[in-house]
Structure 1
């Protein structure tokens, strides 16, 4: 996804309302069908916009629209990431692996419990990180400072027992995997005919923290060491 931004617009109250309607429609359709699934015209129509240029006016191209969705949901998530990180600092647990993983996982799990828009936002986040052309540098621009600090600390801890390149690969894989699991739960929450058994969300989150924490510090096996 390109990092280009839509031009800043000063909107009237009606313009702000139209912008929010476009975001509502875009996040719903992109959550259901992927970032590239719905056409921009389809999103514009779903938002009730008679002016076919409305979406372009507010967001520019598709990447500007996606970035606006990420920003919409990124702000409340960042507040919760910051709060959990501050609590780790207050209690002297800034190098506690489980506590650091909780900073990553718990805000997302809590957020998707808030409603359909929040669940759609999580699914769009997951779809964005699933783009092969998205460079690590671009991912870093989408991540809030607390998560950056957590990631750096986890890498420092992991690098004591494995090469840094392997630690990076393991951390990225596990964080992405956790996000996909929570995005799948978000889809399940909104599926009217879902028949899969569903654990209580707090239990899902706690179990996911256990899984990620264990995987990050698991010993490097002999086959991997030989390949290294």
Structure 2
């Protein structure tokens, strides 16, 4: 093996160790709850030079974690959306909701690293400085299309702005609930006995569908009219 190849192999190994350490610690404490020095030490590095060389800093680590796990979820989103399209179910709220929720729940069952990723994604969505590039690693064409169709169905009975907000809040809530389940799966001393994951997932889909399709109350409609169409409500 040449010196260049050996150096490349060592560099790849160092990058992997840093990424593994960041993934584990950020899942446990949140993206902002762990220092780069702690990540560096957990990866067995003497200085942060390698971390900055490979990732540039905290945001680069978060993007690398998303890139590491994104392909599996993208493929599963595409698979589920293709299935519902073949079955002519593009106008079914539950089928579209399953495209959003099921891949995350299924990924959670694949082991500690996928569970860590889900916890980090939930933490990432709470970051006020969340960059567009980071969001793009969470969204793929099939997920975008399922969301677009859901909003189109919802805006038949509510303002589009309200439909968009409902979908965002419902999706974020589902992600946080799955992140909580991921943490519970990895807790060594938990006394809580959770539902079997398939039952928890089906129930979560039910809850999300209910949130998206709940009737708009009179007070909500009045306030929405004042916010989105003040001239008409005057």
Secondary structure of the 2:203 match is helix
- Find the partner of 1:154 among 150, 155, 163: 150
The 1-side partners of 2:131 and 2:64 are apart by 19
Q: Which residue of 1 aligns with 2:77?
A: 81
The 2-side partners of 1:170 and 1:140 are apart by 20
Listed one character per residue, the Cα deviations across residues 53-101 of structure 1 (whole Å, up to 9, x for unaligned) are: 1110100021011000011111111111111011111111112111111
Secondary structure of the 1:142 match is coil
Q: Which residue of 2 aligns with 1:3?
A: none
The count of corresponding residues between Structure 1 and Structure 2 is 218
TM-score normalised by the chain length of structure 2? 0.89
Shift in CA distance, 141/107, structure 1 to aligned 2, threshold 3 Å? closer
Shift of 1:17: 1.5
Q: Which residue of 1 aligns with 2:13?
A: 17
The 2-side partners of 1:28 and 1:137 are apart by 22
Shift in CA distance, 67/137, structure 1 to aligned 2, threshold 3 Å? closer
Secondary structure of the 2:95 match is helix
Shift of 1:134: 2.9
Q: Which residue of 1 aligns with 2:219?
A: 223
Q: Which residue of 2 aligns with 1:207?
A: 203
Shift of 1:136: 7.2
Q: Which residue of 1 aligns with 2:162?
A: 166
Listed one character per residue, the Cα deviations across residues 162-183 of structure 1 (whole Å, up to 9, x for unaligned) are: 0011111100000000000000
Shift in CA distance, 174/116, structure 1 to aligned 2, threshold 3 Å? same
Instruction: Give the 4+ runs in structure 1 shifted more than 4 A.
Output: 135-138
Q: Which residue of 2 aligns with 1:65?
A: 61
Shift of 1:48: 1.3
The 2-side partners of 1:94 and 1:136 are apart by 28
Secondary structure of the 1:50 match is coil
Runs of 5+ consecutive residues of structure 1 not aligned to the other structure: 1-10
**Higher helix fraction: Structure 1 or Structure 2?**
2
Shift of 1:51: 4.3
Q: Which residue of 1 aligns with 2:107?
A: 111
1:40 matched to 2:40? The reply is no
Kept in 1: contact 2:97–2:205 (CA 8 A): yes
The 2-side partners of 1:32 and 1:127 are apart by 10
TM-score normalised by the chain length of structure 1? 0.91
1:181 matched to 2:174? The reply is no
The 1-side partners of 2:220 and 2:192 are apart by 35
1:1-16 to structure 2, matched below 5 A, reads 12-16=8-12
